[in-house]
Homo-oligomer: A and B are copies of this chain.
């Protein structure tokens, strides 16, 4: 049955106040519903699947179907959706188009967010060329680097500018999200400049902990950590049982961990 699931990361923080919601009651702003961080990440996953379902011509989905397709428990999915409102029809399921729209609105994807990418080395170059961003409402509006061999070249029709111009260029192009794909030592300085340029959120690929003012949100993607966590599981498995054939059907007494899908982000590698 190949159990699997996609659980997402968690802040040490509490949950998060919701975006503007057409709340009919004139209640004070203090009691707005709040959405757990873990739920927000999963909503993005549901959204993608809803897009695929719509393309396939589906009109409705049940929580069970959508949950299976996205690798979560159906109760969890219903609870997640309950945070954004009651858009399901009992006895039927969810209307695909409508739910898609509601999630999009909740995630703030109804307006485009200009992205700046700093560091067009190995990884950065790949990110710059990744066509999935623009298509998903995240047009890459600016590229930066310090390498004179890179400054001035075009990637996907965008010129690479010098890092020193971050404040001006970001302001001009209304950048709201920054991505840092520089070597570790350069990351903090780049981060500071992005913050000075008014960027509110940063996706950090550099292996450092960024210091930012309270109002700036940082998410970190650390490939080395991912691999090391996997390495741990390989080691654990090797230690645990002796079989090394592919699929051992017998289940050791009490060691029913099995395997699962973890974490929460992905790239359309086109």
Give me the interface of A with B, judged by CB distance under 8 Å.
2-14, 16-20, 30, 37-38, 40-41, 43-45, 47-48, 69-71, 73, 106-109, 111, 113, 115, 119, 121-127, 129-130, 132-133, 136-138, 176-177, 181-184, 195-196, 198, 200-240, 244, 246-248, 254-255, 257-270
Contact = CB atoms under 8 A, between A and B. Distances in A.
A73, A138, A218, A255: most-surrounded residue (chain B CB, <10 A)? A218
Each complex incorporates copies of this chain amounting to 2
Nearest to A125: B126
A270 B40 contact: no
A62 to B, nearest CB: 17
B266 A225 contact: yes
Contact of A222 (B198, B207, B222, B267): B267
Given A203-B230, A240-B17, A265 B223 contact: yes
A7 B198 CA distance: 24
A231 B19 contact: no
A211 B4 contact: yes
Given A113-B231, A203-B226, A267 B221 contact: yes
Given A16-B236, A267-B205, A136 B248 contact: no
Given A228-B47, A236-B16, A269-B181, A220 B262 contact: yes
Nearest to A215: B259
Nearest to A124: B269
Contacts of A136: 224, 227-228
Given A196-B246, A269-B122, A215 B237 contact: yes
A266 B113 contact: no
